[in-house]
Amino acid sequence: MLFLKLFWRGVRDLFDQFMFLSLFSLLWWVCAILIVPGPPATVTLAAMADPRRMGAAPEMSDAVEIFKSSWKRSWGIALLTVPFLAMLLWNLSYFAGSSHTLAPMIPLWIVMLILLFVLTLYTFSVAGSMESGVRNAFRGAMFVLVSRPFMSIGLSLLMVVLIFAMSITVLPMLLIGPALVASIVNRFTLTILGEEIVDPSSPTIERQDERSRGVNPDQTLLGRLRGNSRPRNRQ
């Protein structure tokens, strides 16, 4: 199933660059607390979590350059999304369980919140990984959402559950939470946009041909353990 495959690949992307992305997660929290540098830090994190960067040595100078150049577009995205997310959350918390005349709007608000949340994630992902401006970032995000609406809804709900679970344990949320979300969303965004992502750990064409012909088969885990446990011949 494509959904689970992309989710698992996003998780692997994080752990393939665990130390580097953990550092950016901690820096993102500092910027988020300060509020003003929060949006550019989000775009920078999305750029650094781009799976197409794997296999190359991470450059802190690249992150600094993206952070400096993304203030205008990142705040443009934030101002067009975050206030509406906050308004929907406030409406749900205020009218839930009441007999107000607007209470029947709650199901609609929930649907709007789910769609707007994933659209926000996609937009920041496109802005960071594709270096897009505000208009193109929203265009790309809307294309991803419209192309795979049910997958997008599933991703939105999964991110809510994942963020809630990590928030309960606190430390995972601080250490890897932002980077994990960025890595997973990037996988969905770039794949649906049709961007080629080269896996540096995948076998070469020659090795794939050997496997298809049964030449030099891969050793099983048990075989590796047996091989390592054999005593070496003394000379």
* Number of C-beta neighbours around residue 43 at 10 A: 30
Q: Please list, residue by residue across 148-159, b when 16 or more beta carbons sit within 10 angstroms of its beta carbon and e when fewer do.
A: beebbbbbbeeb
pLDDT value, residue 75: 97
Give pLDDT tens digits for 31-71: 999 999 999 999 999 999 999 887 666 678 899 999 999 99
Q: Which amino acid is at 151?
A: M
Give pLDDT tens digits for 133-148: 999 999 999 999 999 9
Tell me if 76 is assigned to some domain. Answer: yes
pLDDT value, residue 60: 85
Tell me if 215 is assigned to some domain. Answer: no
Tell me if 34 is assigned to some domain. Answer: yes
Query: Mean pLDDT across the stretch 19-42?
Result: 95
Split into its structural domains, the chain has a count of 1
- Given a cut of 70, whether residue 101 has pLDDT beyond it is yes
Query: Mean pLDDT across the stretch 113-122?
Result: 97
Tell me if 52 is assigned to some domain. Answer: yes
- Given a cut of 70, whether residue 118 has pLDDT beyond it is yes
- Residue numbers of the domain that contains 36: 2-195
Tell me if 39 is assigned to some domain. Answer: yes
Long-range contacts of 132-141 (CB under 8 A, 24+ apart): 132/73, 133/73, 134/73, 134/76, 134/77, 134/80, 137/73, 137/77, 138/77, 138/80, 140/189, 140/193, 141/189
Tell me if 211 is assigned to some domain. Answer: no
Structure tokens at 89: 């959350």
